Structure 1
Amino acid sequence: MDIKITNGQLTATINPKGAELNSLKNDSTEFIWEGDPEFWGKHSPVLFPIVGTLKNNSYLYKGQVHALSRHGFARDNVFNLKEQTESTATFTLSSNNDTKIQYPFDFELELKYTLQNNTLRLDYFVTNKGDEAMPFSIGAHPAFALPGNFRDYSLKFEKNEPLVSTQLENDLISDKTVTLPAQDGILPLSYDLFKNDALIFKQLESDAITIQKNGSDYIKVSFPDFPHMGIWTKQDAPFLCIEPWQGYSDAATSLGNLIEKEGIVLLEPGKQYSAGFTVAVFS
């Protein structure tokens, strides 16, 4: 059964499978993509314990090869509802025999959703329950519904900076980059931007990106805890994903060692990692 939280101004619905945000709406507008499988059958999956694609969908750890599919397994597992109030919900996923086949580490992953005024906050907590350093990446993949003409929308970056996107090659990070045609921090949206798949920013000065519709603020995603960013849609799809990441796909030249992977976090035994981002809506 989906879990619903509200603060009188916003209502959010979360599916315990993947602790996935399925809906975020006010009285007049639904802001989360409906999940039509004709384009993309998800809404806002959590990416853990990797972000993106591993070379050969596998990695090397202590001399052994482990298979792990794109974006990891958390999005496909049912989380436990740990705590719920009217405007908050907290979900947990712990390592088990099935997860250890793909990822031989003891962990607890906790997601907390909080509604306040016109904003949803999502906090991630990763705890290393084992006795050795645990390598992982984590990220968000929220898809925002953009009804109407896609070209009516633009992205406003918090800072006026060169927008250098690293290009993908067979789902892996290449050594090629492209500088996007932004002016004064504004990037008009078009499907041509995504003809080579997602835009990937290894570095951004901005800690926030605002989707604007006809020049007015529509949705603002703030992500000061996340160093990397992905932005993605599919041809003719009426949605846009703004994805705060810690980590990204393997490089095309990767040797597969998980400990040496770019963007990986090494969490010491007994320690906890935390990061969060917010989604503010203006319609």
Structure 2
Amino acid sequence: MFTIALKQELYPTYILSDQSAQARLEVVPERGGIITAWRIQGQNFLYFDRDRFADPSLSIRGGIPILFPICGNLPNDLYVHKSKSYHLKQHGFARDLSWDVSDRITSDGAGLVLILRSTEQTRAQYPFDFELQFTYLLKGNSLKINQLFINHSDDVMPFATGLHPYFEVKDKKRLSFDIPAPQKQDHITQTMGSFSGSFDVDADEVDMALFPVQRPTASMTNHRHNVKLTMRYSDIYSTLVFWTVKGKDYCCLEPWSAPRNALNSKDKLVYLDPGQSCQASVEFTVSYLKPPEPAAK
């Protein structure tokens, strides 16, 4: 049985449930359309910093923020379009704005459809008329995020998009990865090299872009909890980014459609003609190396 409930916390929060799988998803449309929690059989799979969430002046650390119309940052937060400079902060504005709920789904999954449309505020930073439709669909051990990008402008619209999931991890040394990318760029040192398949999780910070993506799936296995998390993504996603900070119980494995500074470099940007749209999806699936213990009552 699939259900959707609404509760009032700091913001109205939608609770999507698959009762037979004991799966639960929490979504806050007014705070960037963000997924704040994903649980299966009582186990939480997403880290979430509620103190930062409570302060609208701070970016959220946790859940699954939406990145649009850029991924990463721009030099001095600036890019140039048609000889005019625009200011756009790291990861863009979609994760900070209020999204509208346009539909609820309770057949063949618990789903919520969110819409973000351009405004005068967004056009000052990004001079295009757009519409984004994100559909969150919870079913069994999977969370699927279907995405639709529409250009309502009279001009060709370039953009990048991505997701920034914060996976809760208590012991990063017990992680292993299957990431289909042969090269890496260290965002901290700006050095390039070949990717060996692992990370120095003892470092103060790891911020690594991995490319080119050579197949539509990647995975991370948490051997402490005997859980494997597989991410399947559309061809639009050219880069995976791994980010973690020492002393924090999270790591991020992020699908990006384009690298940092793409609005200036034009590297891997998506271009939509006037009236054109494109679709993409990302699906996260949990599998167990051995059956999970029953959730405590």
Q: TM-score, normalised by structure 2?
A: 0.82
TM-fit CA distance, 1:57: 0.5
TM-fit CA distance, 1:77: 0.2
1:96 matches 2:119: yes
Report the residue type matching 2:193 in the other structure. Answer: V
Kindly tell me the number of residue pairs found equivalent between the two proteins. Answer: 263
- Partners of 1:188 and 1:233 in 2: how far apart? 10
Structure 1, residues 17-40: CA drift from partner, whole Å, max 9, x if none? 2111101101220001122568x7
Q: Which has the higher contact order (CA 8 A, sep 6+)?
A: 1
Partner of 2:252: 241
- Partners of 1:26 and 1:189 in 2: how far apart? 29
Q: Is the 8 A contact 2:195 2:210 kept in 1?
A: no
Q: Is the 8 A contact 1:155 1:189 kept in 2?
A: no
- Partners of 1:139 and 1:181 in 2: how far apart? 24
The one of 226, 231, 243 aligned to 1:232: 243
Taking a change above 3 Å as real, the CA distance of residues 259 and 106 of structure 1, as seen in their structure-2 partners, is farther
Q: Is the 8 A contact 2:257 2:268 kept in 1?
A: yes
The one of 131, 144, 151 aligned to 1:128: 151
Partner of 1:254: none
1:119 matches 2:142: yes
Report the residue type matching 1:95 in the other structure. Answer: S
Residue correspondence of structure 1 range 54-73 to structure 2 within 5 A: 54-73=74-93
Residue correspondence of structure 1 range 42-57 to structure 2 within 5 A: 42-57=62-77
Partner of 1:15: 28
Structure 1, residues 180-216: CA drift from partner, whole Å, max 9, x if none? 433xxxx366233x74x41102302232222212284
1:277 matches 2:282: yes
Taking a change above 3 Å as real, the CA distance of residues 239 and 266 of structure 1, as seen in their structure-2 partners, is same
Which consecutive residues of structure 2, in runs of 5 or more, have no partner in the other structure?
1-11, 53-59, 289-297
- Partners of 1:74 and 1:33 in 2: how far apart? 20
Which consecutive residues of structure 1, in runs of 5 or more, have no partner in the other structure?
252-257
- Partners of 1:208 and 1:37 in 2: how far apart? 33
TM-fit CA distance, 1:51: 0.8
- Partners of 2:265 and 2:196 in 1: how far apart? 33
- Partners of 1:243 and 1:59 in 2: how far apart? 23
RMSD between aligned residues? 2.2
Partner of 2:46: 32
- Partners of 1:202 and 1:180 in 2: how far apart? 9
